[in-house]
Amino acid sequence: MNRYIQGVTPGGAAKPPKSVQEAPKKKSFRIREVRDTSNLFVIRSNSFVVQKYMEKPLLFEGRKFDIRMWILFTHELKVFYFKRGYLRTSSYEYDLNHERVSDPNVHLTNNAVQKYNQNYGRYEEGNQLSFDVLR
């Protein structure tokens, strides 16, 4: 049996289909069975990432950031987390004007992108901040 995810394209990010509606007052989704599979891409994996670009993200000093944190959920529903998480920051201020909208240095925070630009490390060493610094 094939599993189908509507809105997934080869090499692209998954987008929630119109059949997925956010439940009111909850941060969970309800998924209906998809009957028309003519516009779907077959996923041949048991794991994948579904993400959405945030047009109005939280910013740190005017720049985008992401949070790296490790959490373990056991089969017994116990939760453990590693307290030494950190923030990864972009090298440039967040901007959606037509000249900067496609600049990965503004919108992506991963080191593989950031380490090659001239502002890398200008604000924080390695564009990273520990949780301790933020307290």
Label residue 2 by pLDDT band (50, 70, 90): very low
Specify which residues 22 forms β-bridges with: 29
Hey, which residues does 3 pair with through a beta bridge?
43
Residue ranges covered by each domain of the chain? 1-52, 65-134
This prediction has a pTM of 0.57
Q: What are phi and psi of 105, to 5 degrees?
A: -70, -20
Residue 84: which residues within 8 A CB-CB, separation 6 or more?
Answer: 130, 131
Torsion of CA 100, 103, 105, 108, to 10 degrees: 110
For 113-128, the pLDDT digits (tens) are 999 999 999 999 999 9
3 state DSSP class of 14: strand
pLDDT, tens digit, for every residue of 40-89?
A: 666 676 666 667 777 788 899 999 999 999 889 888 889 998 888 999 99
Q: Work out the mean pLDDT of the chain and round it to a whole number.
A: 75
In sequence order, the β-bridge partners of residue 88 are: 66, 128
How many Cβ atoms from other residues are within 10 Å of residue 100's Cβ? 14
| 97: pLDDT strictly greater than 70 | yes
Which H or E run contains 87? strand 86-89
pLDDT in tens, 6-54: 444 444 444 444 444 343 444 444 555 556 666 666 667 666 666 777 7
